[in-house]
């Protein structure tokens, strides 16, 4: 070790004696010591003065054919942080270095710059560059590269682009830093500009950079640009790796172009590339996401026929995706098959399985499936179990499990609180639920609207309307965060509690605070007014839905059918109904149901309905619905016969000219005098 450990105090005391000893020990003719990474690092570790250690570091870097390694640079990050704590600014540090005999050169600033850069001291980076200019040194390409990288890291992409334009002689590293960071920021516009500039300077991206570009374009759905990058790769002779094929397939899967993705897989095999498990997983996920289960299983069969067995990631994808498309049995079968493949489930597998069991409501399967399994429980698993206990009808167990979580050292998050509050409400432990809620908002401030909504909804479901409304009013008074869902849930509670005027008032208040009603809100309002038999408000809400272009839900239509399909109601809403149909705000299933209900009323017992409608356009619209949906089949008669009878109504033929008994099914006989 170089004998400099006795020079000064840990913080540095630069005296004439110190300078003399420093010169004697660092004179290569006197010390005759060969510099190695090991002895330099050892000396730095034992140096009692950070400033002297920095001086020694700079001196070593000036020696011929010696370059510091990463270990030394990492050590110097800690040294320079302590130096900066003492001297505050780069200017002061440089002045102190000069005071102990360090000749300030451009290399001095370059080395300081590297340390600041490596230590993520980005403010010091810009200060060092400023001091470099003050000493008359011009930033070179390396300095420009540092500026570009640091600019991206502090979120100043505009500054990075400006620095690139000011770089007189950019090198490969310059462009590589730009492209990598632009891909991270998904800045597709500047990626193209930088890539073209790079090619003009005669540099070509590495294979890894090409893959990063492809991944960025495919991820953003810019397949045209991805094809251009692919063409450039082929032109430059860059081979198509498995990763490249997988990225292209992933890009088309994201665009739901599964036909092209499948052809790419075939093309991949034709060109001699062997798809790996990642390629197959990407395509299988794409098919399942598009509800093409048969195609997904075909790809899985092809993969297994080639000797590739599903790994844990693919099994997780299968369980999760099959659950989302309603194939619960298949999802559970995949989980069961993991044991034979000797695959150990992880927390994601466990949560996906719980989702499948809860969605299929086969709660009794869960203990049998997980018996004997050892799964490391994380917060995600615990939250899933809380949800399982609530949905399976064991809210008391959810509360007990929450206490176990806290005893095991888990820190609850908003999903934990949701599970706990849901469990308490379903167990009808209302007082405890409210107490827990107050504790949450007091000890964990800044909760989002979902926490408040869960408690209000839970109280409404157990018919504690007054308590729920009281909680909502307190949330508003405390100015806690509320969203449109919270308002909609509270409005539903007001309707259920028979407080219609308050529901209307809250609906207006929601719009006044700047929240736009969503589909659920509109359907809640319509259902509420249907319950109150308020035809005027039903008409008003339907008109608002037309203006907002919001669809009627199926459940709302079921309620409307019992209310609107009477002579005096049907006439007043049929124009709104047809307008909603023309705007695509009524789904095909809902539309067919409404047509059938209306025609049942028309042909069963009240002919005056259509005759009472003054507009022939409305009649023709109803006629088109009849023909389009072929609801004539419900009468058990032929198409022509049914159309003829509808035409009689349209063209104002007298009711006695139509022979109704031949049209009326049996179900009408028993209900002809009752409104549906």
What does the alpha-carbon distance between residue 390 and residue 412 come to, in Å, rounded to a whole number?
Answer: 17
Closest CA to 542 of 515, 560, 567: 560
Cβ–Cβ < 8 Å for 190, 182: yes
What does the alpha-carbon distance between residue 529 and residue 67 come to, in Å, rounded to a whole number?
Answer: 80
Query: Is residue 568, in this structure, part of any structural domain at all?
Result: yes
Residue that is last in its domain, among 93, 119, 138: 138
| Burial group, residue 533, by CB count within 10 angstroms (0-12, 13-18, 19+) | exposed
672 pLDDT above the threshold of 70: no
Cβ–Cβ < 8 Å for 522, 548: yes
Q: How far is CA 66 from the centre of its chain?
A: 49
Q: Residues 59-112: pLDDT tens digits?
A: 988 888 888 889 999 999 999 999 999 888 999 999 988 888 888 888 889 999
What does the alpha-carbon distance between residue 324 and residue 359 come to, in Å, rounded to a whole number?
Answer: 9
| Angle in degrees, CA 332, 336, 337, rounded to 5 | 115
The pLDDT value given to residue 636: 45
Q: Residues 486-498: pLDDT tens digits?
A: 999 999 999 988 8
Report residue 170's pLDDT band, with 50, 70 and 90 as the boundaries.
very high
Lowest pLDDT segment from 320-334, 544-558, 564-578: 564-578
Three-state SS for 350-383 is HHHHHHHHHHHCCCCHHHHHHCCCCCCCCHHHHH
C-alpha distances in angstroms, 44 versus 40, 52, 149, 342, 407? Answer: 6, 9, 29, 51, 46
Query: Is residue 100, in this structure, part of any structural domain at all?
Result: yes
What does the alpha-carbon distance between residue 116 and residue 81 come to, in Å, rounded to a whole number?
Answer: 9
Question: How many other CB atoms are there within 10 angstroms of residue 636's CB atom?
Answer: 12
318 pLDDT above the threshold of 50: yes
The pLDDT value given to residue 178: 92
What does the alpha-carbon distance between residue 327 and residue 356 come to, in Å, rounded to a whole number?
Answer: 9
* DSSP-assigned letter for residue 668: H
What does the alpha-carbon distance between residue 422 and residue 21 come to, in Å, rounded to a whole number?
Answer: 74
Query: Is residue 651, in this structure, part of any structural domain at all?
Result: yes
Domain count, the chain: 2
133 pLDDT above the threshold of 60: yes
* 238 backbone dihedrals φ, ψ, rounded to 5°: -80, 125
pTM of the model: 0.60
Cβ–Cβ < 8 Å for 284, 317: yes
Q: Residues 97-118: pLDDT tens digits?
A: 888 888 888 888 999 999 999 9
Cβ–Cβ < 8 Å for 390, 419: yes
Query: Is residue 369, in this structure, part of any structural domain at all?
Result: no
Report residue 179's pLDDT band, with 50, 70 and 90 as the boundaries.
very high
Instruction: Return mean pLDDT, the chain.
Output: 78
Which segments of 375-446 does DSSP mark as H helices, in order? 379-391, 395-407, 414-426, 430-443
462 pLDDT above the threshold of 90: no
28 pLDDT above the threshold of 60: no
More confident call, 152 vs 3: 152
Query: Is residue 256, in this structure, part of any structural domain at all?
Result: no
Q: Residues 506-564: pLDDT tens digits?
A: 999 999 888 888 888 988 998 898 888 887 888 888 888 888 888 777 778 777 766 76
Lowest pLDDT segment from 21-30, 193-202, 229-238, 453-462: 21-30
14 pLDDT above the threshold of 50: no
What does the alpha-carbon distance between residue 203 and residue 171 come to, in Å, rounded to a whole number?
Answer: 8
Query: Is residue 388, in this structure, part of any structural domain at all?
Result: no
* DSSP-assigned letter for residue 632: G
650 Cβ neighbours under 8 A, 6+ residues apart: 610, 616, 619, 620, 623
174 pLDDT above the threshold of 90: yes
Query: According to the per-residue pLDDT averaged within each range, which of 41-50, 147-156, 390-399 is highest?
Result: 147-156
592 pLDDT above the threshold of 90: no
The pLDDT value given to residue 362: 86
Q: If DSSP codes are grouped into helix, strand and coil, which group holds residue 407?
A: helix
Closest CA to 275 of 300, 293, 253: 300
The pLDDT value given to residue 629: 46
Lowest pLDDT segment from 30-44, 118-132, 204-218: 30-44
The whole-number average pLDDT for the span 561-577 is: 59
CA torsion sign, 379 to 384 to 388 to 390?
A: positive
Q: Residues 611-649: pLDDT tens digits?
A: 444 344 444 445 445 544 444 444 444 445 445 555 554
Cβ–Cβ < 8 Å for 61, 113: no
Q: What is the DSSP string of 519-552?
A: HHHHHHHHHHHHHTT-HHHHHHHHHHHHHHT-PP
Question: How many other CB atoms are there within 10 angstroms of residue 206's CB atom?
Answer: 13
Report residue 409's pLDDT band, with 50, 70 and 90 as the boundaries.
confident
197 pLDDT above the threshold of 70: yes
Query: Is residue 74, in this structure, part of any structural domain at all?
Result: yes
- Ramachandran assignment for 245, one of left (phi > 0), alpha (psi -120 to 50 degrees), beta (any other): alpha
Query: Is residue 451, in this structure, part of any structural domain at all?
Result: no
Which helix (H) or strand (E) is 201 found in, with range? none
13 Cβ neighbours under 8 A, 6+ residues apart: 49
Q: How far is CA 210 from the centre of its chain?
A: 26
Burial 588-626 (b: 16+ CB within 10 A, else e): eebbbbbbbbbbbbbbbbbbebbeebeeeebbebbbebb
| Burial group, residue 526, by CB count within 10 angstroms (0-12, 13-18, 19+) | buried
597 pLDDT above the threshold of 80: no
Residue that is last in its domain, among 138, 163, 180: 138
The whole-number average pLDDT for the span 256-263 is: 84
Closest CA to 26 of 58, 71, 51, 48: 58
Closest CA to 574 of 524, 646, 623: 623
* DSSP-assigned letter for residue 633: G
The whole-number average pLDDT for the span 170-178 is: 92
Query: According to the per-residue pLDDT averaged within each range, which of 130-144, 245-259, 544-558 is highest?
Result: 130-144
Q: If DSSP codes are grouped into helix, strand and coil, which group holds residue 82?
A: helix
**Helices 519-531 + 554-564 axis angle, to 10:** 30
Structural domain of 673: 564-676
HSE-up of 470 (CA within 13 Å, CB side)? 6
Report residue 269's pLDDT band, with 50, 70 and 90 as the boundaries.
confident
What does the alpha-carbon distance between residue 223 and residue 256 come to, in Å, rounded to a whole number?
Answer: 12
249 pLDDT above the threshold of 50: yes
C-alpha distances in angstroms, 352 versus 135, 175, 364, 423? Answer: 62, 42, 16, 21
Q: What is the DSSP string of 496-516?
A: HTT-HHHHHHHHHHHHHTTPP
Residue that is last in its domain, among 86, 115, 138: 138
* Largest Cα–Cα separation, the chain: 127
């Amino acid at each position: 070790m170089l004998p400099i450990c006795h020079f000064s105090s840990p913080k540095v005391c630069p005296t004439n004696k110190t300078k003399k000893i420093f010169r004697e020990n660092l004179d290569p003719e006197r010390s005759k010591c060969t510099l190695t990474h090991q002895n330099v690092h050892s000396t730095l570790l034992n140096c009692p003065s950070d400033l002297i250690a920095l001086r020694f570091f700079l001196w070593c870097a000036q020696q011929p054919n010696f370059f510091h390694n990463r270990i030394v640079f990492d050590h110097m990050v800690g040294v320079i942080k302590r130096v900066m704590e003492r001297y505050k600014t780069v200017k002061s540090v440089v002045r102190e270095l000069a005071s102990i005999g360090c000749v300030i050169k451009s290399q001095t600033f370059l080395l300081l710059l590297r340390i600041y850069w490596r230590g993520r001291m980005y403010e010091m980076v810009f200060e060092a560059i400023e001091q470099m200019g003050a000493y008359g040194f011009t930033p070179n390409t390396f300095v420009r590269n540092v500026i570009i990288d640091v600019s991206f890291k502090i979120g100043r992409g505009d500054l990075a682009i400006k620095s690139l334009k000011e770089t007189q002689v950019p090198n490969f590293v310059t462009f590589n830093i730009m492209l990598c960071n632009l891909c991270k920021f998904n800045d597709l516009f500047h990626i193209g500009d930088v890539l073209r500039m790079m090619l003009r300077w005669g540099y070509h991206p590495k294979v890894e950079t090409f893959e990063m570009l492809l991944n960025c374009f495919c991820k953003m759905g810019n397949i045209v640009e991805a094809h251009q990058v692919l063409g450039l790769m082929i032109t430059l002779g860059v081979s198509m790796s498995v990763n490249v094929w997988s990225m292209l397939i992933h890009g088309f899967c994201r665009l739901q172009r599964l036909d092209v993705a499948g052809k790419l897989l075939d093309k991949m095999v034709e060109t001699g590339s062997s798809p790996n498990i990642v390629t197959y997983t990407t395509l299988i996920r794409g098919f399942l996401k598009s509800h093409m289960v048969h195609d997904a299983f075909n790809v899985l069969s092809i993969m297994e026929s080639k000797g590739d067995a599903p790994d844990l990631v693919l099994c997780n994808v299968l369980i999760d995706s099959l659950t989302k498309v309603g194939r619960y049995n298949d999802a559970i079968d995949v989980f069961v098959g993991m044991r034979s493949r000797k695959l150990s489930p992880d927390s994601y597998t466990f949560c996906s399985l719980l989702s499948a069991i809860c969605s299929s409501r086969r709660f009794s399967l869960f203990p049998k499936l997980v018996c004997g399994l050892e799964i490391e429980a994380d917060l995600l698993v615990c939250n899933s179990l809380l949800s399982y206990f609530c949905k399976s009808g064991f809210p008391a167990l959810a509360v007990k499990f929450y206490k176990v979580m806290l005893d095991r050292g888990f820190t609850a998050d908003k999903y934990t609180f949701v599970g706990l509050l849901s469990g308490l409400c379903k167990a009808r432990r209302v007082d405890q639920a409210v107490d827990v809620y107050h504790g949450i908002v007091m000890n964990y401030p800044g909760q989002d609207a979902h926490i408040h909504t869960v408690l209000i909804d839970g109280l409404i479901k157990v018919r504690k309307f007054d308590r729920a409304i009281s909680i909502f009013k307190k949330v508003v008074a405390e100015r806690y965060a509320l969203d449109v869902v919270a308002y909609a849930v509270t409005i539903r509670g007001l309707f259920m509690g028979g407080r219609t005027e308050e529901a209307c008032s809250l609906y207006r208040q929601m719009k006044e605070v700047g929240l736009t009603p969503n589909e659920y809100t509109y359907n809640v309002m319509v259902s509420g007014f249907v319950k109150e038999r308020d035809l005027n408000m039903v008409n008003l809400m339907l008109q608002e839905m037309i203006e907002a272009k919001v669809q009627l839900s199926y459940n709302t239509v079921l309620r409307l059918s019992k209310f609107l399909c009477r002579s005096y109601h049907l006439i007043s809403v049929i124009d709104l109904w047809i307008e909603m149909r023309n705007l695509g705000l009524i789904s095909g299933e809902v539309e067919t149901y409404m047509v059938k209900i209306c025609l049942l009323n028309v042909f069963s017992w009240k002919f005056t309905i259509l005759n009472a409608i003054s507009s022939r356009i409305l009649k023709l619209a109803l006629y088109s619905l009849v023909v389009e949906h072929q609801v004539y089949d419900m009468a058990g008669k032929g198409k022509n016969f049914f159309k003829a009878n509808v035409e009689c109504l349209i063209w104002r033929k007298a009711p006695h000219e139509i022979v109704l008994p031949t049209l009326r099914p049996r179900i009408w006989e028993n209900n002809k005098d009752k409104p549906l």
